[in-house]
Amino acid sequence: MASRFFLTLCLLVAACTSVSPPPAEAQAKPFAIQSSQLTFKLDDPAATRIGRLVWRGGIEMKASSPNFGGWSDLHVTPDGRALTSISDEGAWLTATIDYDAKGNLVGLGSAKIGQLRGLEGKSIQKKAEADAEAMARLPDGSWLVAFERRHRLWHYRTLDATPLPIEGPADIGRQPGNGGIEALTALADGTVIAISEEYSLKPDTVVGWIGRPAGSGRYTWSAFSYATVPDFRPTAITLLPDGSFVTLERAFDVIRGVRVRVMHVEAAQLKAGATVKAEELAFLASPYPVDNLEGLSSSRGARGETLLWLISDDNFNPLQRNILMLFELAP
């Protein structure tokens, strides 16, 4: 209980004292990431599984760059060799992934960081404009990025390029200022799935949208509902190799601290007008490694296994952590 109370106190202090860093340079800048290994279960070093997730390694990440942190979403290449992330301060990150002989995560290398550009081609300077919370890799290799505070979708050919605005759902601007689209992914045909963190039209649900490509960078949008339980809200979604989806749902309160539900959604549920009811795969809370988990991606392992990657947002506060975790999804 004492350790949980300390973590909770730290997170409360972090929420009150986090300070935004200056914007990163618009051009890619190489830097080094120092990684230390995470313990999967503090009170049971031999543990390797929680729910349907099998531990494949985790790291706490630190770097000399003042812009390293705030990681709000994640994309790992299908072969698991490299990752891309964006932060809620408008930075982007790329890095290669290092494994041990067993194929478990041990570190990151060849890291580069830069700042997203605005519509005029200059790097985004203000927090209200830079709050990137979700991204999707589109079939042509370009990126769709969702911002909150000023809710919008921008399309980037590359993350260091000048974006083009995308017309989002008609009610995208009705979302709470700090509760916009946190979960975003794309299908092989270019269809986009987006879920709001807090925008709700029916009790015990939040709003999601399906965007189907309509040519010339446009989408035709339809809405669905994503069922929630008290305290938990969706923060990420990823498409699995089998065509189904995994989402993250996060909760925090003073007594229980941070908790994260890893959820599974069958593809057939995602249709206009439906209410999606996800199934729990695992529940992450102390003494398991957990922080403000906001990014999620999937890839295939060397044996063909499905791998899940989770990354946290440290709010640029030394009392929180940037962690990256790798799990294998058990049958």
Residue 3, classed as helix, strand or coil, is helix
DSSP 179: S
Question: Phi, psi at residue 12, to the nearest 5°?
Answer: -65, -45
Q: Confidence class of residue 18 from pLDDT cuts 50, 70 and 90?
A: low
Domain of residue 322, residue span: 2-329
**Mean predicted lDDT score pLDDT of the chain:** 93
Q: Confidence class of residue 16 from pLDDT cuts 50, 70 and 90?
A: very low
The per-residue pLDDT for 318 is: 86
**Number of domains comprising the chain:** 1
Tokens of 222: 């339809």
Query: Has residue 4 got a pLDDT over 50?
Result: no
The per-residue pLDDT for 26 is: 66
- Which pLDDT tens digit goes with each residue over 46-92? 999 999 999 999 999 999 899 999 999 999 999 999 999 999 999 99
Q: Confidence class of residue 241 from pLDDT cuts 50, 70 and 90?
A: very high
Question: Phi, psi at residue 256, to the nearest 5°?
Answer: -100, -10
Average pLDDT over residues 219-227: 98
Minimal CA–CA distance to 59: which of 291, 328, 317? Answer: 291
Average pLDDT over residues 115-129: 94
305: CATH:
2.120.10
- Which pLDDT tens digit goes with each residue over 152-179? 999 999 999 999 999 999 999 999 999 9
Q: Are 193 and 237 in contact (CB under 8 A)?
A: yes
Average pLDDT over residues 17-32: 76
Q: Confidence class of residue 17 from pLDDT cuts 50, 70 and 90?
A: very low
Percent residues over pLDDT 70 in the chain: 94
3-state SS string over 231-287?
Answer: CCEEEEEEECCCCCEEEEEEEEECCCEEEEEEEEECHHHCCCCCEECCEEEEEECCC
Minimal CA–CA distance to 326: which of 74, 34, 45, 65? Answer: 74
Distances (CA, A) of 162 to 124, 133, 252, 280: 11, 18, 36, 39
